[in-house]
Chains A and B, each alone.
Chain A
Amino acid sequence: MEIDLFTTSAQIVNFLVLVLLLKRFLYKPIVRTMDRRENEIAERVYEARIREKKAKREARISREKRQELEDRRAEILAHAQDEAEAWKREAMRQARDEIREAKARWHKAIEREKQSFFKDLRRRMGEEVCRVSRQALDDMAGEDLERHMIEIFLKRLEGIEAEDWSRLAAVAAGPEQGVAVLTAFPIDEGVSSRIKTVVEAKLKRHADARAEPVRDGIRVRFEVSPDLICGIELRAGGWRAAWSIQSYLEAMEERLAWSFAGSSPE
């Protein structure tokens, strides 16, 4: 157990040689590699952080844009809903108005059709009633309907109030000059002259009573009007006295209308 000086010196040299060799073959390359790796990792981490920050920033911008779009969408949607609601209200109002107008038009048309129908019905019924009555009277009693009607007409003329005759006379003496006798059927000369005589006598008497003498006499003219439906009418200006089955037909029409409506006039 002694120290050999040569060996010690040789070992010192050996150790220093080993230091140099390892420095050349181990430490330098390995440390360089590790440092490069650390630097590259550090750079990558740094770049990753930069990218992360950038990504976060872009994500934030994207989020804000999305929020903005959402807000805009909600705004547009709300606006569209308001507009749609307004349009709906307006459309509903227009539709109601149109329905109301259509309903009114329809009612008017119905009313017109009803009136036309009843007018036609009345006329047809009158004609039919006249025909049947005439036929019945002729077949069963050998009587003429028109002649009876003329008779009744003449009697009714007698029953007209004096005041009414005076008014008629005043109208007949006016600018229109005359009285018209309208019949639903043609009458012969004899009947017409009887009527003319009665009317002229009545008018003359009442004109004299009013101290308004008739200068050229009152002209009585005769006209045939199918619209009268089995009746006779005395007309002067706006005044008229009529005897026809019009009132019967109107009562019948009223009852029919009530029947169509599903209830009775009572």
Chain B
Amino acid sequence: MELSPDSTVFWSRGPVHLNLTIVTTWAVMALIVFLAWLATRGHRLYPPFSRSQSIFEAVVTVIRNHIRDMLGPDVPRYLPFIGTLFLFISFSNLLIIFPVYHPPTSSLSTTVALALCVFFAVPIYGIANVGVKGYLKHYIEPSVILLPLHVMGEAVRTLTLAVRLFGSMMSEILIAGALLAILPFLLPVVMKAFGLLIGQIQAYIFAMLASIYIASASSAREHVIREKRNGQKPQSSSGRPQVQEKGEQDG
């Protein structure tokens, strides 16, 4: 029983090889991009909407609201990264309903790759938000003694991200395989359904944790902004049109 799709290699030349993980990743990418293109191809401003437009709008709205709650009103900056994390993991895990499909997320290489993306995204967003000095400053806050702990925490949370997702998907495959050997009927179907749920929860957890890590690195930025406002009335963080206020001002 193959536990990782990495071991299924289709083509190899030197260090470069094409395994099942990469192939299924491309397939999932192609599917997501195709569905996205389908949703936005004839997208309408007002109902009736196509099914794909409705689904993608609902998903994007949920992600945007999540980002707005976690990271503030600058949603467009974070949406591509966190949204793609969620969509990729979600679609990868959703396709396990197909019998021959092996999710790329059950490969430790994939989960590590995604965790590394988050690992690098955190300082990039942090530096983009508060600058190098501001970002590095939060490693020595509240005391310089905590610097090793901060660095260790960065490494460990990247590892936990990768292992959590990998473990969840791997365990699902293992349990499904084991149950298939013990009781070939009904129970694997239930476990498959359970695996679908687990996969979606993992996608959500991964995206949420990524946003939390980015938010923690950007917390210094909000502190700086608050100081700059210097007691001015804070603007609405919703980013939605302020109908009432506009109306009152104009009216």
Contact = CB atoms under 8 A, between A and B. Distances in A.
A7 interface: yes
Interface string B73-113: 00010011101110110000000000000001001111011
Nearest to B40: A29
B60 interface: yes
B250 A27 contact: no
A30 B29 contact: no
Interface string A3-30: 1111111111011111111110111011
A46 B247 contact: yes
B43 A31 contact: no
Interface string A40-55: 1110011001100100
B109 A22 contact: no
Contacts of B84: 15, 18-19, 22-23
A34 interface: yes
Contact of B81 (A7, A19, A29): A19
A31 B114 contact: no
A31 B79 contact: yes
B240 A34 contact: no
Given A1-B108, A3-B108, A11-B22, A18 B79 contact: no
B57 A30 contact: yes
Chain A: interface size category: 35 or more
A2 B243 contact: no
A36 interface: yes
A50 B170 CA distance: 59
Contact of B36 (A5, A19, A26, A36): A26
A65 interface: no
Interface in B99-149: 104, 107-110, 112-114, 116-117
Contacts of A34: 57, 60-61
A8 B109 contact: yes
Contacts of B4: 1-2
B3 interface: yes
A137 to B, nearest CB: 125
Contacts of A21: 29, 33, 36
A83 to B, nearest CB: 48
B243 A42 contact: yes
Contact of A14 (B25, B39, B116): B25
A237 to B, nearest CB: 112
Given A1-B4, A8-B112, A18-B29, A23 B80 contact: yes
Given A6-B16, A7-B19, A19 B80 contact: yes
Contact of B114 (A5, A11, A20, A39): A11
B205 to A, nearest CB: 17
A38 interface: yes
Given A33-B43, A49-B251, A25 B36 contact: yes
Contacts of A4: 6, 19, 21, 107, 109
A16 B80 contact: no
A105 interface: no
Interface centre among A20, A36, A41, A46 (most CB of B within 10 A): A46
B71 to A, nearest CB: 15
Interface string B14-33: 01110101100110010011
Interface of A: 1-12, 14-23, 25-27, 29-31, 33-34, 36-42, 45-46, 49-50, 53
The 3 A-B residue pairs with the shortest CB-CB distance in the complex, in nearest-first order: A42-B241, A11-B113, A26-B36
13 contacts: A4-B19, A10-B25, A10-B113, A11-B110, A23-B84, A26-B39, A36-B45, A42-B240, A46-B243, A46-B246, A46-B247, A46-B250, A50-B250
Given A25-B40, A26-B39, 14 more contacts: A3-B108, A4-B21, A8-B109, A8-B113, A15-B85, A22-B32, A25-B33, A25-B37, A27-B83, A29-B40, A29-B43, A46-B247, A49-B243, A50-B247
